[in-house]
Structure 1
């Protein structure tokens, strides 16, 4: 009888421990690459890219096979950060002050903070380089960023990174202070993210880490050994840089997973991997914006041609065709997701904030009209009810001081589960994923419905495009602040965290690790 009582006590204790673990809010790590797009993952059918760690994550995750972003960088980031379409938050370009996220927008960390989360942002911000727009003033507790839309970039107005910055040994702004790092940019961003996680993992509070790599964005420079691998196969330097950066990201993902496992964090951490828009045009080797026809980029070591690959889609970054906006979206949660599963339901970047809030047990403020939905049912249930909807996209990117209304019916698209309407032409994405066949005449009522819905969306958004007539700033904050710090206190070396990390690059641009 006594052994039965002990067995019951053990069962009750196990139940209590399990219940407590389930009630604890999960940590969240959100990783987004720049310009990678959907095709450049081995698990997505790519014939020769080597991404074993992403392929493994794909196998272990709930993966959304039809996940849609915006067509370029800052618009996607604005929609993710605020859960509201970019043009309703003033973001209609990547430069010209039109990349600045409305200061009244409520951000992800501001939603998660009341639920007890501490938040860190690492890498490419691209939602405004002026002080009030920076991530430390949008709810993030820790920040480690570069300026503009890329390391070393500078444009008319305020959008600019540190002058002369490079992918090797770059300067970053760490919690408001510029620091000089040693190594390759992607290594540094993964290490800075993991270093912060190391510092907060035992605090008793859940954490939200947003890691936004600048790779594989132009100028397409990979660590030397990754670059050389593809150049030796006949790739030109830009294309070799793009694919080399992707393979290096994959290696970094593998190191990150190992470190999280060593810390015992995998069971209660949601890890999301995605990209900010469709695949880049120049770096991928494809010509034009359509993403076809295929071209030979190099020759494999066994003599086979290495052809370009766009996953049987039309469009690349900068278009509203499927290939311009479709991205990988993997959700791995070892403590809850026991086996991989593919979700075919069309989902949107506007869904990210509501989803994170739902998993975190955070309430969405009623003062902001969030446009997305929580994807939690699609992640945790096999066949949940899901009402179809229209998703709207526009390339925006009209010239500085142009009238947006002149571009209303230009490069726009409306997507539901089955169809995509592109500038008035309808495609059946289930029967014709490459968008070769115009079915507009076969579905006139649907076309009218989509056009009317889009017109309503535009009319609602037009008064909210608050950055259209803003004059270009006379100063570039990253230039001004960097030069002032350099003249007064200097630029200190970054104190890298103590982690197990195999560097991809050491020394100068000609260095190779062992």
Structure 2
């Protein structure tokens, strides 16, 4: 077979497309609809793969997939967890979707947003989600509320974070299956792959979409000893457990691929591997935007949460033998997470209804041997609120990057311009030498901000909903004007010293029971306070806390509609902070 390499030159910033023969053809798409398995890891960077040049980390199964798949080498996500997941699910910029932070009530999608699961489910696919969701723990924001029919997941942004099942530590944990908590045996990553394979086996006779979203290698960095052992004692390894977690993922990916092959599904399954942001622990860095002092980052500057390339350029492998997506080819064109929804719809011949209106565009033209015209000449991403969560309201250009095939206009601690082709490490700011490029890139940012900024608004949690009653609220969703609220097990073990409102939507007027707790109900721990207070719907109530009480119960009449709930727990010195957990139950 003769392989053609087609180069299409665009008029803006030397934008180049590389496409290959043997890619998607109309004939390959005319048969039965393909299955889709989308595997996404958490906090694994571009350099945390052997096939990307890491000299120490062993990832044989990912390396094999890289050799067999179509590889996008300039693929970008958001610099951290929730925004990438929001963009992936909706095809929209995270700020537009409503889910653009990792806590503080900014993790949930606006109600008018539709997801990949909605799209596939409405077109006859079985839809399954396993692992980390991080787009809301309460109705109407849970994965089962957003189009997934079969769900096994942990709450919050990570195992061991505040709203996760109390006591979970990566081993033999309790996760939620379709609305009910269930105890699982084994290490978390092993469980997620096992449940993913179970979903595939149960739905092998129909088209299916599986979103396998791993929590690893996100911290805390815990893994069975056998996986970390090869990396212990190596001074060039920043975190042996982090590498061990990736090695375990690689092992499980091999098991998954072998099983779908045994089931006869491999040829007509679109298998995608990607990660959600730059590395978290693949190196030791001096600040978010530095090059690694220890470790390997594929020559890039920046880590997780950085708007330099190391914070958001990630692996993206796509493999579909029956559709021609194979052969280990590289596509160097700029692409992004917002493109996944329209691409999968295009490849699976699913029309995208007007209600979706994705910001992304289909990557299918890049997969055609003819090298069809490409619809984008730039991409914008923004870390809304800035690094360190010191401030949440976003400002124009703050912590943003405007990207083209050649240029990066970066706004971090200051504004800089980088020629990514000549200087992939982003070492030299060339803004003074190219004022005309600066002007053009700033102009690209303006329509992005005009679309996104009006949607940086509160998304509300339902109470009194038939889908979830009672609703268990967690401090991670306090809607604070700055900073992060208490969001992990360690934080909620301390006396509360801050509080904030939960933004609620009361679905039906009536009598409600509110139970305030310092610890989640399953922890069975007393409230360390002498008085408790609530403010909701223009009403204020205060009650004493009985000795050894594990929950302070209020009853209040609430009208239907939007409201805010604020809670306080007072210690004997009169100092107060919010109840980390509050159950809101419609009683009549």
Q: TM-score, normalised by structure 2?
A: 0.72
Q: Which residue of 1 aligns with 2:184?
A: 181
* Residue 388 (structure 2) pairs with residue 404 (structure 1): no
Q: What is the alpha-carbon distance in structure 1 between the residues aligned to residue 304 and residue 185 of structure 2?
A: 31
Distance 1:247 1:388, change over 3 A: same
Q: Does the 8 Å contact 1:190/1:252 carry over to 2?
A: yes
Residue in structure 2 matched with residue 208 of structure 1 by the alignment? 209
Deviation at 1:401, TM superposition (A): 9.8
Q: What does 1:90-489 correspond to in 2, within 5 Å?
A: 90-154=98-162, 160-202=163-205, 205-233=206-234, 239-280=239-280, 282=281, 284-295=283-294, 308-335=295-322, 336-381=324-369, 383-398=371-386, 402=391, 404-405=393-394, 407-423=395-411, 424-467=415-458, 472-473=501-502
RMSD, aligned CA: 2.5
Q: 2-side partners of 1:20 and 1:293: how far apart?
A: 44
Q: Which has the higher helix share?
A: 1
Q: What's the secondary structure of 2:457's corresponding residue?
A: coil
Structure 2: runs of 5+ lacking an equivalent: 1-25, 460-478, 481-499, 503-513, 525-549, 551-588
Larger-Rg structure: 2
Q: Which moved more, 1:177-186 or 1:328-337?
A: 328-337
Q: Which of the pair has the greater relative contact order for Cα pairs under 8 Å at 6+ separation?
A: 1
Distance 2:27 2:52 in 1: 37
Checking the alignment, whether the CA contact within 8 Å between 2:283 and 2:293 is kept in structure 1 is no
CA contact (8 A) 1:96 1:400 kept: no
Contact kept, 8 Å, 2:384 with 2:392, in 1: the verdict is no
| Residues in 1 aligned to 2:516 and 2:137: alpha-carbon distance in whole angstroms | 8
Query: Aligned partners of 2:27, 2:318: CA distance in 1, in Å?
Result: 23
Residue 475 of structure 1 and its aligned partner are, at CA, apart by 8.1
Question: Of Structure 1 and Structure 2, which has the larger fraction of its residues in strand?
Answer: 2
Q: What do the CA deviations read for 1:306-333 (whole angstroms, capped 9, x no partner)?
A: xx11111111110111110000000011
Change in Cα spacing, 1:291 to 1:310, as seen in structure 2 (3 Å) is farther
Quote the Cα distance in structure 1 between the aligned partners of 2:522 and 2:202: 27
- Check conservation: 1:89, 1:466, Cα contact below 8 A: no
Q: Distance in 2 between matches of 1:137 and 1:182?
A: 26
Change (3 A) 1:475 1:226: farther
User: Which of residues 69, 76, 95 is equivalent to 1:68?
Assistant: 76
- 1:118 CA displacement: 1.1
Task: Decide whether aligned partners of structure 1 residues 380 and 170 sit closer, same or farther in structure 2, where only a CA change above 3 A counts.
Answer: farther
| Partner SS, residue 457 of structure 1 | helix
CA distance in 2, matches of 1:476, 1:465: 29
The alignment partner of 2:381 has SS state of strand
Q: Distance in 2 between matches of 1:403 and 1:42?
A: 37
Aligned partners of 2:41 and 2:217 also within 8 Å: yes
| Residues in 2 aligned to 1:272 and 1:174: alpha-carbon distance in whole angstroms | 24
| CA shift digits 1:293-314 (9 cap, x unpaired) | 442xxxxxxxxxxxx1111111
Number of residue pairs matched by the alignment: 445
